[in-house]
């Protein structure tokens, strides 16, 4: 009797193992299937509508010749400007935290806590804040500048954290070597530590580029939706993601559908390119170390 139950439980355990094994494969399959489905559906419907005219053309609400050049320009402005604010401040904060501050001091804890809180705030709250503070209180209006300042706050934690990791990965012996040769602290940081942390810093910048391109809610609340090519950073502009959102609000004609698919295709291609860039840098990094 005892033997029977034992062998019985053994068999059921084997079945259980098979079942769980199957569940793991199935789950991985579902994940991959969804990814391929999203990407394939967008690309297969959108690629044929991406043309030189579509990319470089002016936007018109009616008519067949409608392009996204103004949105591309706005997106590029937004990326460059928000990085111009966030990258130097983020990198220098990381330098302060790793090279200057006493590790574990109260002050460092406060900065860490604030950076983490900043990363936890939902992006729509940034939009809410940006609209009242930059657009209204500072009087910058719906502009690329208002949007870029808002997004700069949003990507600051990404840059700080990734740069900090890159700086901490630089071996202590570099610093010791620098000081032993009589270099000053700032010279050691500038000539020895920053160059060897450069791939990590570039990665942090690429990651935040992805964030800026991908955001939409805080962008339309601060930079507006005007479809003109912005003349200056004080002009309103519509980024690619905001454009896709607006297009989906008015999907009536086939032409509008095609435009939405083509815009989504451009966004996916951009994400692919950024991913690839990070990979290339990571491989270089592994080779050099």
Partner 1 sequence: MNTATKVQSQGLQLAQKKAMDIKEIFFHGLFLCCAMVGVLSVSTIGWFVFNEGLPAFKEAGVTEFVTGKEWLPPALYGILPMIVASMISTAGAVIIGVPIAILTAVFLAEIAPKWLADLVRPAVELLAGIPSVVYGFFGLVIIVPAIETIFNIPAGNTILAGIIVLAIMILPTVITISETSIRALPSVYKEGALALGASHIYSIFKVLIPAAKSGIFTGVALGVARAIGETMAIIMVMGNAPAMPGSLLEPARTLTANIAMEMSYATGIHSSALYATGIVLLVFIVLLNGSLLYLNRKRAY
Q: Taking CB under 8 A as the criterion, which residues in 207-236 touch partner 1? A: 210, 213-217, 220-221
Q: How many residues bind to partner 1 according to rule CB under 8 A?
A: 82
CB of 16 to partner 1, least distance (A): 8
Per CB under 8 A, contacts with partner 1 among 245-274 are 245, 248, 251, 260, 264, 267-268, 271-272, 274
The encoded tokens of residue 100 equal: 């200057």
Does 277 participate in binding partner 1 (rule CB under 8 A)? no
Does 40 participate in binding partner 1 (rule CB under 8 A)? no
Exactly one of 11, 28, 169, 181 binds partner 1 (CB under 8 A); that residue is 28
Exactly one of 30, 55, 138, 168 binds partner 1 (CB under 8 A); that residue is 30
Per CB under 8 A, contacts with partner 1 among 74-113 are 88-90, 92-93, 95-97, 99-101, 110-111
Scan for tokens 């990381």, then name that residue: 94
Neighbouring CB atoms inside 10 A of 277's CB total 15
3-state secondary structure of 112: helix
Cβ–Cβ under 8 Å, residues 68 and 54 = yes
Does 71 participate in binding partner 1 (rule CB under 8 A)? no
Cβ–Cβ under 8 Å, residues 217 and 123 = yes
| 80 versus 217: smaller Cβ distance to partner 1 | 217
| 189 versus 233: smaller Cβ distance to partner 1 | 189
CA distance 152 to 272: 23
Exactly one of 6, 7, 9, 27 binds partner 1 (CB under 8 A); that residue is 27
Tell how far CA 76 is from the center of its chain.
Answer: 14
Length of the chain: 289
CB of 2 to partner 1, least distance (A): 19
Per CB under 8 A, contacts with partner 1 among 137-156 are 153, 156
| 206 versus 229: smaller Cβ distance to partner 1 | 206
**250-255 contacts, C-beta under 8 A, 24 or more apart:** 255/64, 255/66
**Angle at CA of residue 179, ends 174 and 181, nearest 5°:** 100
Q: Is the dihedral of CA 131, 137, 143, 145 positive or negative?
A: negative
CB of 124 to partner 1, least distance (A): 5
């Amino acid at each position: 009797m005892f033997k029977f139950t034992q062998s019985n439980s053994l068999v059921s355990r084997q079945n259980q193992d098979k079942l769980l094994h199957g569940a793991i494969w199935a789950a991985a399959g579902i994940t991959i299937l969804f990814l391929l489905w999203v990407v394939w559906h967008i690309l297969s419907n959108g690629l044929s509508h991406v043309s030189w005219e579509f990319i470089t053309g002016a936007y018109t609400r009616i008519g067949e010749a409608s392009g996204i050049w103004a949105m591309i320009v706005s997106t590029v402005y937004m990326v460059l400007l928000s990085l111009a604010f966030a990258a130097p401040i983020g990198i220098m904060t990381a330098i302060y935290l790793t090279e200057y501050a006493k590790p574990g001091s109260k002050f460092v804890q406060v900065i860490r806590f604030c950076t983490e809180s900043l990363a936890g705030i939902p992006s729509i709250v940034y939009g809410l804040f940006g609209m009242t503070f930059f657009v209204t209180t500072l009087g910058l209006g719906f502009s690329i500048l208002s949007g870029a300042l808002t997004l700069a706050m949003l990507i600051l934690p990404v840059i700080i954290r990734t740069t900090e990791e890159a700086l901490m990965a630089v071996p202590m012996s570099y610093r010791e070597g620098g000081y032993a040769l009589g270099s000053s602290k700032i010279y050691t940081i500038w000539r020895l530590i920053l160059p060897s942390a450069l791939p990590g810093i570039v990665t942090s910048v690429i990651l935040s580029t992805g964030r800026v391109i991908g955001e939409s809610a805080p962008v339309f609340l601060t930079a507006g939706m005007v479809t003109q090519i912005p003349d200056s950073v004080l002009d309103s502009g519509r980024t690619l993601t905001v454009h896709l959102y607006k297009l989906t609000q008015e999907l009536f004609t086939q032409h509008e559908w095609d435009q939405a698919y083509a815009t989504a295709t451009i966004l996916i291609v951009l994400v692919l390119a950024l991913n690839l860039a990070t990979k290339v840098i990571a491989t270089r990094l592994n080779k050099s170390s």
